[in-house]
């Protein structure tokens, strides 16, 4: 089967659209989780230098 | 009805031991795995592994290694490969071992998405239990993270594996799945503070996008590709290939794990029936990185012919094709419906979106911290909170906190997770491995995805485990290992 025989086609993308066109919706409204006591309690216990110390072997 | 696709997920966990570093990590991971405190069989059969074989019909002389990482091994000898890997076969048919200094949990093969997501989540408990045992023995605090980056340029993988007929071939798989692999990260990325290559950004939706440099190759350690061409089927190579997807992230939200695998199964079903939508992405690597860094969340993708589309449109094209041309099973119906629902919410209802999408849950968590602390996105400690989102300790991990607060989709209940740590529910070949470990461990010589080998009256007997066969629960009724082998040879 060749591409021309395919039964489906993707939704056509308009050729005159260019990357960066400001036609989409704006960034979403990001609000903090409700009832964040347990989360914030744990976050306050996080060692802020933990990620600095965190060095890993490169894996797959 | 479409073919049920056997699949599994393998996750290399990050490992941090107090006062130790990457130079000691291989030895620490070996000790951690070897100290696994629960029932297991120690050993693995490597005869059928072929990581240098390429789906495109050739074989690499060697696999590339990160030259910076190789410095850690200078002048060291850890022993023979099987000793370094320290394989453990678990009573649920999973494999637990050391892979390049990372404790790796490979789920048993599964048919349904829900089963696989539960096994992946149960794996977190297995690795956590091993870490606790290692900490008690060594006297050192130990942290284990289900993530894919150390924020300093080292990455480690979460790979998916799908059993595919060899007749499909590389060309169709690459053409039909690459657009999907690029686009799906908007629903299944795990999120990352900052970047480790290219222009700087404050937050991106993928842990792994920074690390891919080629559209397709067989490498996994260095010069990683979007589409991995390793040809290591773990089954009859004349009939099957194992699609080895390496570009995904480790998910903390089980719902996301199921969707990550389900989207690829959807793509495979369309590919196998020659019905996948045809997208000509101009530069798959750049597209993956561009989507990952797009904080407008429009997720534009450049196409050939100087046109463009969006990741959402790419996904929708697969959904529409599947609805029109396939007889969907319940899993694929769920993938389409739940994915569409999420896509409709990314801009209009981000809190709901974030319940089932790791990158969004992590971003909201960090926003909550910034609001509480008065900090900003340039604070270097944000990476520590990113890291702790992936901490598998249920008493200190930040994803675990969100789960306990019902801010993200729930984990399977504890009783179910405990059960899945030691059992298999589906009639896959993992059931044969499970029975071998739990009932005939003293007769077992080695195991792997494809075979089991037993010592029967001094003779080594290897049994092939066809991946498409049905393995009934009655196999567990075999009174002795000889009968078990006979029963295994009769499955179909």
Token pair listed for B323: 């609805």
The enclosing H or E element of B7 equals strand B7-12
Tens-digit pLDDT profile for residues B114-154: 999 999 999 999 999 999 999 999 999 999 999 999 999 99
Tens-digit pLDDT profile for residues B447-468: 999 999 999 999 999 999 999 9
The percent of residues in chain B predicted with pLDDT above 70, rounded, is 100
Q: How far is A4 from chain B (nearest CA, A)?
A: 10
Q: Report the range of poorest mean pLDDT among A13-17, A50-54, B418-422.
A: A13-17
pLDDT band, very low/low/confident/very high, at A3 (cuts 50, 70, 90)? very low
Pick from A18, A29, A51: which is nearest to B387 by CB? A51
Please state the rounded mean pLDDT for residues B62-85. Answer: 91
Between B260 and B82, the more confident residue is B260
For residues B178, B180, B186, B191, the Cα torsion angle rounded to the nearest 10 degrees is -40
Question: Sheet containing B41-42: which strands, arranged edge to edge?
Answer: B41-42, B88-89, B95-99, B102-106, B7-12, B158-165, B240-245
Q: How far is Cα B488 from Cα B169, in angstroms, rounded to an integer?
A: 30
Mean pLDDT of chain A: 65
Helix axes B358-373, B382-389, angle to 10 degrees: 140
pLDDT band, very low/low/confident/very high, at B251 (cuts 50, 70, 90)? very high
pLDDT at A37: 80
Q: Are A1 and B333 in contact (CB under 8 A)?
A: no
Tens-digit pLDDT profile for residues B156-186: 999 999 999 999 999 999 999 999 999 999 9
Please state the rounded mean pLDDT for residues B182-191. Answer: 98
- Chain A CB contacts of B303 below 8 Å: 13
DSSP state of B109: P
pLDDT at B372: 86
Query: Given an 8 Å threshold on Cβ–Cβ distance, is A42 in contact with B401?
Result: yes
- Chain A CB contacts of B25 below 8 Å: 56-57
- Chain B CB contacts of A3 below 8 Å: 278
Tens-digit pLDDT profile for residues B194-236: 999 999 999 999 999 999 999 999 999 999 999 999 999 999 9
Between A42 and A32, the more confident residue is A42
pLDDT at B178: 98
Please provide the DSSP assignment of B233-260 as one string. -SS-TTTEEEEEE-SPPPPSSHHHHHHH
Q: Which of A28, A31, A49 to substitute to test the interface with B, most B CBs within 10 Å?
A: A28
Pick from B14, B68, B99: which is nearest to A60 by CB? B99
Q: How far is Cα B88 from Cα B83, in angstroms, rounded to an integer?
A: 11
CA distances for B237 relative to B60, B166, B167, B233, angstroms = 18, 8, 11, 6
Q: How far is Cα B429 from Cα B242, in angstroms, rounded to an integer?
A: 15
Tens-digit pLDDT profile for residues B352-385: 999 999 999 999 999 989 988 999 999 999 999 9
Tens-digit pLDDT profile for residues B285-308: 999 999 999 999 999 999 998 999
Q: Which chain B residue has the Cα nearest residue A42?
A: B396
pLDDT at B61: 94
CA distances for B451 relative to B109, B447, B463, angstroms = 14, 6, 5
Query: Given an 8 Å threshold on Cβ–Cβ distance, is B381 in contact with A51?
Result: yes
Q: Which chain A residue has the Cα nearest residue B323?
A: A8
Tens-digit pLDDT profile for residues B35-54: 999 999 999 999 999 999 99
Q: How far is Cα A50 from Cα B16, in angstroms, rounded to an integer?
A: 9
* Position A28 pLDDT exceeds 60: no
Q: How far is B461 from chain A (nearest CA, A)?
A: 33
Question: Is B304 an interface residue toward A (CB < 8 Å)?
Answer: no
The residue length of chain A stands at 60
pTM summary value: 0.94
Query: Given an 8 Å threshold on Cβ–Cβ distance, is B309 in contact with A13?
Result: yes
* Position A12 pLDDT exceeds 50: no
Q: How far is Cα B92 from Cα B39, in angstroms, rounded to an integer?
A: 10
* Position B486 pLDDT exceeds 90: yes
- Tell me whether residue B171 is one of the annotated catalytic residues: no
The percent of residues in chain B predicted with pLDDT above 90, rounded, is 96
Q: Are B102 and B8 in contact (CB under 8 A)?
A: no
Token pair listed for B410: 């729930």
Pick from B150, B350, B407: which is nearest to A28 by CB? B350
Give me the total of CB pairs closer than 8 Å, taking one residue from chain A and one from chain B.
201
For residues B256, B123, B203, B334, the Cα torsion angle rounded to the nearest 10 degrees is 0
Q: Determine how β-strand B212-217 pairs with β-strand B224-228.
A: parallel
* Position A4 pLDDT exceeds 90: no
Token pair listed for B396: 């200190």
The vertex-B162 CA angle with B464 and B429, nearest 5°, equals 30
- Chain B CB contacts of A2 below 8 Å: none
Q: Report the range of poorest mean pLDDT among A15-29, B86-100, B178-192.
A: A15-29
Query: Given an 8 Å threshold on Cβ–Cβ distance, is B279 in contact with A10?
Result: yes
Q: Which chain B residue has the Cα nearest residue A1?
A: B274
* Position A5 pLDDT exceeds 60: no
Residues 128-187 of B with CB under 8 A from A: 143, 145, 150-152, 154-157, 159
pLDDT band, very low/low/confident/very high, at A2 (cuts 50, 70, 90)? very low
| Given B31, B99, B386, B411, the catalytic residue | B99
Token pair listed for B218: 């067989």
Q: Report the range of poorest mean pLDDT among A6-20, B66-80, B146-160, B225-239.
A: A6-20
- Chain A CB contacts of B298 below 8 Å: 24-25
* SS3 label, residue B350: helix
- Chain B CB contacts of A53 below 8 Å: 16, 21
pLDDT at A31: 52
pLDDT at B323: 98
Q: Report the range of poorest mean pLDDT among A36-45, B18-27, B31-40.
A: A36-45
Please state the rounded mean pLDDT for residues B481-491. Answer: 98
pLDDT at A35: 52
Q: Which chain A residue has the Cα nearest residue B155?
A: A58
Burial class from Cβ neighbours inside 10 Å (0-12, 13-18, 19+) for residue B170 reads middle
pLDDT band, very low/low/confident/very high, at A32 (cuts 50, 70, 90)? low
Q: How far is Cα B420 from Cα A35, in angstroms, rounded to an integer?
A: 32
* SS3 label, residue B78: coil
**B419 Cβ contact list (under 8 Å, min separation 6):** none
Q: Are B277 and B266 in contact (CB under 8 A)?
A: no
The enclosing H or E element of A57 equals none
* Position B404 pLDDT exceeds 80: yes
């Amino acid at each position: 089967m060749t591409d021309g025989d395919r039964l489906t086609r993707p939704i056509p993308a308009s050729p005159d659209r260019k990357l960066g066109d400001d036609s989409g919706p704006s960034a979403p409204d990001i609000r903090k989780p409700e009832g964040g006591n347990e989360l914030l309690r744990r976050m306050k216990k996080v060692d802020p230098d933990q990620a600095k110390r965190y060095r890993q072997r490169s894996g797959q | 009805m479409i073919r049920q696709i056997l699949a599994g997920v393998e996750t290399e966990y990050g490992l941090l031991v107090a006062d130790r570093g990457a130079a000691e990590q291989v030895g620490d991971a070996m000790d951690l795995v070897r100290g696994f405190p629960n029932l297991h069989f120690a050993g693995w059969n490597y005869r059928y592994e072929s990581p240098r074989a390429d789906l495109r019909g050739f074989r690499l002389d060697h696999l590339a290694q990160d030259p910076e990482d190789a410095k850690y091994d200078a002048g060291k000898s850890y022993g023979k490969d099987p000793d370094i890997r320290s394989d453990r076969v678990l009573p649920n048919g999973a494999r637990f071992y050391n892979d390049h200094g990372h404790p790796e949990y490979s789920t048993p093969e599964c048919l349904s998405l829900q089963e696989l997501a539960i096994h992946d989540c149960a794996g977190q408990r297995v690795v956590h239990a091993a870490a606790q045992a290692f900490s008690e023995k060594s006297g050192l605090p130990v942290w284990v993270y289900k993530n894919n980056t150390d924020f300093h340029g080292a990455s480690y993988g979460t790979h998916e594996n799908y059993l595919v007929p060899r007749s499909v071939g590389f060309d169709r798989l690459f053409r039909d799945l690459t657009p999907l692999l690029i686009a799906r990260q908007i629903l299944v990325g795990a999120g990352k503070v900052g970047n480790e290559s290219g222009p700087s950004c404050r937050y991106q939706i993928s842990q792994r996008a920074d690390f891919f440099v080629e559209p397709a190759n067989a490498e996994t350690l260095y010069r990683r590709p979007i589409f991995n061409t390793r040809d290591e089927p773990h089954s009859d190579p004349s009939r099957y290939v194992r699609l080895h997807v390496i570009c995904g992230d480790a998910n903390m939200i089980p719902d996301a794990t199921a969707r990550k695998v389900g989207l690829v199964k959807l793509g495979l079903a369309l590919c196998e029936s020659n019905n996948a939508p045809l997208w000509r992405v101009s530069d798959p690597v750049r597209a993956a990185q561009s989507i990952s860094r797009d904080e407008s969340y429009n997720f534009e993708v450049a196409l050939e012919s100087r046109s463009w589309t969006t990741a959402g449109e790419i996904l929708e094209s697969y959904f529409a094709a599947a609805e029109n041309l396939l007889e969907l099973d319940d899993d694929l119906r769920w993938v389409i419906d739940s994915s569409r629902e999420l896509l409709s919410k990314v801009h209009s209802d981000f809190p709901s979106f974030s319940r089932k999408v790791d990158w969004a849950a992590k971003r909201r968590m960090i926003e909550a911290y910034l609001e509480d602390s008065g900090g900003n996105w340039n604070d270097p400690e944000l990476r520590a909170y990113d890291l702790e989102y992936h901490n598998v300790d249920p008493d200190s991990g930040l994803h675990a906190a969100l789960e306990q607060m019902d801010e993200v989709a729930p984990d399977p209940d504890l009783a179910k997770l405990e059960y899945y740590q030691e059992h298999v529910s589906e009639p896959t070949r993992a059931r044969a491995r499970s029975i071998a470990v739990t009932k005939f461990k003293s007769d077992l010589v080695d195991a792997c995805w494809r075979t089991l080998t037993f010592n029967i009256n001094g003779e080594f007997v290897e049994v092939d485990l066809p991946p498409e066969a049905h393995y009934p629960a009655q196999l567990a009724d075999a009174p002795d290992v000889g009968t078990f082998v006979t029963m295994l040879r009769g499955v179909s």
